Amino acid sequence: MRYTVVHAEVDPPDLGGQDYANPEEPFNALLKETVVRTGAQVGFGMDTDADRFGIVDKGGIYFRPNQILPMLIRYLGVDKGYTGRVIATQTGSPLIEVLAGQIPGNEENPTRRRRFAGLRRAKDLSGAPRRYRHAFA
């Protein structure tokens, strides 16, 4: 496995032509261009203190954390069968809770139980918000 580091400084004085230290669009153009130009499979972008992130695929398509985290939870907990607690903040994707409910060891949040009960029972995500459905086809 090979990797390329584009920027590795914490709070650098110069952001290498970037206007803003933000891993989201439109500020991640350098990451997208680097991934496509080098033929990388994936690019990981973080802000200068790494409390925000974004992922770019080999075609230069950007994925927000609220798209990546449900995919990761599904892969590790549902597809691979790993168990353990999934903890998310209120600002996370609503699909995190749906998928966590399919992993042993996760208690339901009673305030959302009715909202997602049908999805959880049927393991059918067709009722999920439209922007998330493609990730779980």
- Taking only the tens place, the pLDDT of each residue in 7-46 is 666 666 776 666 667 888 888 888 999 999 999 999 999 8
Say which DSSP state 116 is in.
H
Measure the CA–CA gap between 124 and 112, rounded to whole angstroms.
17
Task: Give me 99's structure tokens.
Answer: 């998928």
The pLDDT tens digits for 67-79 are: 999 999 999 998 9
Residue 64's region, left for phi above 0, alpha for psi from -120 to 50, else beta, is beta
Nearest Cα neighbor of 112 from 135, 131, 95 is 95
Q: C-alpha 135: how far from its chain's center?
A: 11
What is the value of pTM for the model shown? 0.65
Q: Are 132 and 95 in contact (CB under 8 A)?
A: yes
